[in-house]
Structure 1
Amino acid sequence: MNATDYRSCAEDWERRATIRTRPRRLLEDDDKLIFPLCRQPLVLSATFLDQCPQWRDFVLVQTFYKFINDVVIFETEIVDKTARRIAKNRFSVPFPFACRYNAMTVVIDEDYHALVALDFMQQTIEMTGIPPLDLPPHIELSRAVPAAVNQAPEHLRDAVELICIAISENTVTQDVAAFSKDDSVKQSIRGLMADHLFDEGRHAGFWTRLVRLYWQTASEEDRNIIARILPVFLQHYLTNDLQKAFDLQLIEHLDISASTRANLQAEIHALVFPITCQHPLVVNIMGFLHHTGLLQTPSLAQALSAYLPVSGRHS
């Protein structure tokens, strides 16, 4: 790949990165929510609303802790790992120096996001007096990325990792955007999400350009192999198993009757997570694959046909 094909974002990062421009945000002691109700179905279930609505804030605080924990894992263990290898020129896919410089800005941003997230966790513990329960050591991507990479031949493992990380970075950007606009949530937390979004929008563009550069040079054989692997990644990524497990753990810590607990558990087990072409996550992912040019590859479009609207499927 020629360095002239890649434009550095160095000046943009110096001028706009939140680590350069944002003061510390402080959690407000007001009556706003710490986490959106719509993102925690447990507190909206019929049994919860009828039998134990007094536990709402406890559940929302614990769900906020999980959200922060997920962010830290995502930023420091997954995105950081790939970006750092690119920055240090330890990636089998060759990239120009300007790209490697930009990858290091991603490392700095992501570690900073993790630091800010942990700061908010500490502030929340001090304000509420509610310590976090045992938090999951993994997120969906902790399983999805290795599952896909392990399916690839040696020479394509880094390329598959790159595409998986790029998909997740573009997906999380949309997710954070929705969080930052929820007026029911404390302003400082919405600000935290907005700051995160400010950087993640630049990161999404960075990863998109890298995947586009790689795909332009990939052989047809390699493209076809990757096409067979991406459904494995999506199968492991697009699931709510870990969230269900966490919610069931939460229910165990509520001081409620055995019958109420059983009803809440049944409602959590009954929650479905249908992955169709209309699901927002799928729409975001397919949009990314279209913008990078991957969906213009017939074998990949065919492999992902179940996730595409009927009008976008190949026969």
Structure 2
Amino acid sequence: MNAHEYQSFADSWERRATIRTRPRRTVEDDGKLIYPTSRQPLVTSAVFMEQCPHLTDFALVQSLYKFINDVVIFETEIVDKTARSIAKDSFAIRFPFACRYDAMTVVVDEDYHALVAMDYLQQTIELTGIEPIALPREIELSRSIPKAMEMAPEHLKAAVELICVAVAENTLTNDVAAFARDDTVKESVKGLMADHLADEGRHSSFWARLTRIYWSAAPAEDRQILASIMPVFLSHYLTNDIQKAFDLALIAHLDTSEQVKAALRLEVEAMDFPITPGHPLVGNIMRFFRASAMLEDPAVQSSLAAYLI
């Protein structure tokens, strides 16, 4: 795709963006879960279910707070930063006005998602009386993008930033969709996820098209360098170190005996989530590399061979 072939989604944004069309999501006091047990393996572990199942609601509420915190960091510190610089034409890679206009709608959407998430967090605190434990100050992307950019020569740092943000915006679509379909959780939570998903479908396409525009004009030697950086980025992005640290902190706050906490810590430490080609997040990421045309390049195929089925 060349830059002049880009078609803005401005009309679609006006008709469908959640900031234009969705009501406020109000947390219900209905007895349903506020966070899926499938997304917090701690509460379905053998020790937890045997020794402290009465603490499930506390653990799930804290997990929701962590999820919301992650959303706010992702939207405001990662996506917003890159989209805003593209919109203001201050990004090192230049794009035509139609791209910059769409980038500004992404900024509006993402900041709105963060606002809605913060509103829901505050509502949950008021409903449950459960205050958040100390939440992480960073997400995996807070580490993996700088590490990837450090590897790039100066003239390719912006390209690395663009591709990494694009990968991130194309990673979680199926994951969020599963969240939105989970009938065990409150309708407001499902609505929150469905709203997010409605905008993210548009965003994922936007970032893939911008990457395709850049990649189509990039010299072969630059493509080679960028290809070599991608496995390093993915290895740091697809970790669960921050989640594991949070789970251990959560265990420390459980109102149970030190003996039970020690057993729970052993279970968390033993949990392993290998990143294989069959992992759903890897599948989403590989679809992005195909959609952006990057995977047509032999250098990218070689660098990502470990992730391809």
Normalising by the smaller structure, the TM-score range is: over 0.9
Alpha-carbon distance between aligned partners in 2 of 1:189 and 1:12, rounded to the nearest angstrom: 25
SS in 1 for 2:106: helix
Alpha-carbon distance between aligned partners in 2 of 1:163 and 1:181, rounded to the nearest angstrom: 29
- Asked whether 1:39 is paired with 2:64, we answer no
Q: Is contact 1:177-1:193 (8 Å) kept?
A: yes
* 1:305 match: 305
| Structure 1 runs, 4 residues or longer, greater than 4 Å off | none
Q: 1:259 deviation in Å?
A: 1.5
**Pairing 1:195-234 to 2, within 5 Å after superposition:** 195-234=195-234
Q: 1:4 deviation in Å?
A: 2.8
* 1:112 match: 112
Q: Is contact 2:2-2:213 (8 Å) kept?
A: no
Alpha-carbon distance between aligned partners in 1 of 2:199 and 2:255, rounded to the nearest angstrom: 41
**Pairing 1:75-90 to 2, within 5 Å after superposition:** 75-90=75-90
1:287-313 residue CA offsets vs partner (Å, 9 max, x unmatched): 11012111111111111111111xxxx
* 1:241 match: 241
1:35-76 residue CA offsets vs partner (Å, 9 max, x unmatched): 000000000000000000010000000000000000000000
Q: 1:261 deviation in Å?
A: 0.9
Q: 1:255 deviation in Å?
A: 1.6
Gapped regions of structure 1 (runs ≥ 5): 310-315
**TM-score normalised to structure 1 length:** 0.97
Alpha-carbon distance between aligned partners in 2 of 1:190 and 1:278, rounded to the nearest angstrom: 26
Q: Is contact 2:172-2:284 (8 Å) kept?
A: no
Q: Which amino acid aligns with 1:107?
A: V
SS in 1 for 2:170: helix
1:63-115 residue CA offsets vs partner (Å, 9 max, x unmatched): 00000000000000000000000000011111100000000000000000000
> Which structure exhibits the higher relative contact order, with contacts defined as CA atoms closer than 8 Å and separated by 6 or more residues?
2
* 1:313 match: none
Alpha-carbon distance between aligned partners in 1 of 2:238 and 2:299, rounded to the nearest angstrom: 21
SS in 1 for 2:172: helix
- Identity over the aligned pairs, expressed in percent? 65
Q: 1:172 deviation in Å?
A: 2.2
Q: 1:2 deviation in Å?
A: 5.8
Aligned residues: 309
